[in-house]
Structure 1
Amino acid sequence: MGRIQAVFKADGAESAGRYSISEWWLEPHTTGPGAHSHPEDDVFYVLEGTMTFLADDHWTDAPAGSFVLVPGGVTHDFENRSAARAGVLNISVPGDFETRMPGIAEWFKNHPPQPPS
């Protein structure tokens, strides 16, 4: 995906569908997956840099060490508006988020990440 890299650490099959864990790394000044919602709860832990998160209609900067909880059904997004690479650990509950990755990868192919506006 170029400016965004996703690494799956644990998938739904490994957790009997209870959770999925992934890391997302964004190069400087890179938009994220775009505003979206899904039924799973998302917990984000910022590993490095500062990630900016959208939850409902509010954007918040989250520096390394921050936790962000997005309940299922809430529209959300994340992006790296900073001049440094940023990474976030994502835990989705329940699991099997990764089964949607082919569709997500296709979306990114058709909508390449851009510098945030």
Structure 2
Amino acid sequence: MSDEKNRAPVIRPAGAGRAYAMGPVHAVFKADGEETRGQYSISEWWLEPYTRGPGAHMHEEDDVFFVIEGTMSFFVGGAWIDAPKGSLVIAPGGTPHDFENRTGERAGALNFSVPGDFEPHMEGIAEWFRARSAAESRTENAPSDT
């Protein structure tokens, strides 16, 4: 049998994975690369209250988001929508999309990137998020700190 058919199962307990702290954004990669033969990537994305995401962008991979806590706002199909816990949002490859947390509660989404070997890009992505100022990280509806 080939090594591909003998891959070991991937089991990650709650909270486990490869973490990327990026200020008010936190990602945890559950599976990527050799674990998935580069076919898909699974990660959690957590945003603190009133936190912007990466900004509208697009790539060839499909992005599938399943909201696991709170309410996330997604830009997809040319419009922003609010997606509460349990919602599914799919941004097909080539579709401009973005996400952010416009609420006063922490929010998180499970992301599947297909096909994908996404994690190798995280060093640059994390550096970009960490370089943002606090003001640049805040959503437009965030309450003022005064």
**TM > 0.5:** yes
- Is residue 50–residue 104 contact of structure 2 (8 Å, CA) maintained in 1? yes
2:34 maps to a residue whose letter is A
The residue aligned with 1:16 is 37
Give secondary structure in 1 for the equivalent of 2:65. Answer: strand
Aligned to 2:139: 116
* RMSD, matched Cα: 1.2
Q: Bigger radius of gyration, 1 or 2?
A: 2
Q: How far apart, CA to CA, are the structure 2 residues paired with 1:51 and 1:108?
A: 18
1:40 maps to which of 61, 67, 80: 61
Please state how far the C-alpha of 1:57 moved relative to its aligned partner.
2.2
Q: Which residue of 2 aligns with 1:104?
A: 125
Deviation at 1:95, TM superposition (A): 1.8
Using the TM superposition, give the Cα deviation of residue 56 of structure 1 relative to its aligned residue in structure 2, in angstroms.
4.1
Please list every run of 5 or more consecutive structure 1 residues that lacks an aligned counterpart in the other structure: none
**Runs of 4+ residues deviating >2 angstroms:** 109-113
Corresponding residue of 1:93: 114
The aligned runs of 1:14-93 (5 Å cut-off) are 14-93=35-114
Identity among equivalent pairs (%): 63
List alignment gaps of at least 5 residues for structure 2.
1-21, 141-146
Q: Deviations over 1:5-32 (max 9, x none)?
A: 0000001220101100000000001001
Q: 1:83 Cα deviation (Å)?
A: 0.7
TM-score after normalising by structure 1: 0.94
Q: Which protein has greater RCO, CA pairs closer than 8 Å, 6+ apart?
A: 1
